[in-house]
């Protein structure tokens, strides 16, 4: 069994909790886990596993660890792409990337859909360039996400063998 999508990293979990949960998963037959980051900061926490820019970014304010969410912006994109390029040799995927057209994310601003599409397109192109698979998020954006991926077909990747994990 292979878990291709979890958010198992700090600060949500302590390093000891990550180790314990990973051991528990292994004990029940999970052979590999890909921790999928949502922010550039999260990407640093899971560098060996995956990197990408989630369409929904957490908001931190008033010293609280999490106080809401905002849509990804074009300003978020360049540092994330640079990070992915700089660490491509240590990554197993680009993601979590995608589209999230939930009302609480868009907050009535339909133009944010185009921002998310542009961010996704750039990450798909980079994943193709690097020969890395994508881990795609889609919420309230089903056919939009599929359409965005079909415009830039992802390169066919070789099947991973058991020894790759």
| Domain edges within the chain | 36-158
**The CATH classification of domain 36-158, taken from the options 3.40.718.10, 3.20.20.140, 3.40.630.10, 1.10.10.1200:** 3.20.20.140
pLDDT for the residue 43:
78
Looking at residue 165, what is its pLDDT? 41
Percent of the chain past pLDDT 70, that is, above it, reads: 79
Q: Which residues of 109-146 are buried (b: 16+ CB within 10 A; e: fewer)?
A: eeebbebbbebbebbbebbeeeebbbbbbbeebeebbe
pLDDT digits (tens, 9 = 90+) for 7-46: 887 778 877 787 788 888 888 988 777 787 888 878 777 7
Q: Show the CA angle centred on residue 88, arms to residues 87 and 91, nearest 5°.
A: 95
Indicate if the pLDDT at residue 2 is higher than 60: yes
Burial 47-58 (b: 16+ CB within 10 A, else e): bebbbbbbbbbe
Of 141, 25, 29, 132, nearest to 89 by C-alpha is 132
The pTM score is 0.70
Q: Which of 22-31, 64-73, 121-130, 141-150 has the lowest mean pLDDT?
A: 64-73
- Per residue in 36-83, pLDDT (tens digit) is 788 887 877 777 444 555 666 665 555 555 556 778 889 989 999 998
């Amino acid at each position: 069994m292979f878990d291709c999508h979890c958010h198992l990293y700090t600060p949500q979990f302590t390093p000891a909790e990550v180790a314990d949960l990973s051991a528990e998963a292994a004990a029940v037959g999970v052979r590999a886990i890909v921790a999928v980051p949502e922010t550039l900061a999260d990407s640093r926490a899971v560098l060996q596993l995956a990197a990408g820019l989630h369409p929904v970014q957490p908001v931190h304010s008033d010293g609280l660890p999490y106080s809401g969410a905002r849509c990804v912006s074009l300003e978020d994109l360049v540092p994330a792409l640079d990070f992915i390029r700089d660490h491509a040799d240590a990554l197993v995927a680009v993601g979590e990337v995608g589209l999230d057209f939930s009302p609480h994310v868009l907050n009535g601003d339909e133009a944010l859909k185009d921002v998310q599409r542009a961010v996704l397109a750039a990450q798909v192109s980079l994943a193709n360039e690097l020969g890395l698979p994508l881990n795609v998020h889609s919420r309230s954006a089903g056919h939009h996400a599929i359409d965005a991926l079909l415009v830039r077909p992802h390169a066919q990747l070789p099947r991973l063998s058991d020894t790759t994990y």
